[in-house]
Structure 1
Amino acid sequence: AALVRPSRSVSDLEVKSVKKKWKDKSFARGVDRDLIVKGAEMIPMPLDTVIEWVINALRRVEPEIGLGQ
């Protein structure tokens, strides 16, 4: 989702933005959304919380993975 943002950064990325793009089949085409949903259910944790955790984790490594540049 960060790559389609003008900032190309996760620093301003929000859960609602990911959820909006989630519905677009061309967004993260290789990602198995059903697997992510099932994983969240297995934890158990709401999908929004999983997405928020991933965003926060990406923020910590943003420079190392080439985002926000």
Structure 2
Amino acid sequence: MISQPDAPDPIGAFLLLGATFCLLAAMYVVCYTFFMANWEGWEAWNRRTGLDAEMAEEERDKRLRPK
């Protein structure tokens, strides 16, 4: 059977889809690695930003509490 030049190529489409997934996975791994290498933890984040998780939870509960 002779393939038509304008017919879609299912094998090529799956290869392109697989290459796209591999590229996205590689970008995710690289970005996650850099992020985790520089992440200091929530305590450092709270100190630097002045945010306190417990205080934020209390204020959230006060806002959501029915009056």
Q: TM-score per shorter chain, which class? A: under 0.3
User: Which structure: larger Rg?
Assistant: 2
Q: Which one scores higher on RCO, CA 8 angstroms, separation ≥ 6? A: 1
TM-score by length of structure 2 reads 0.27
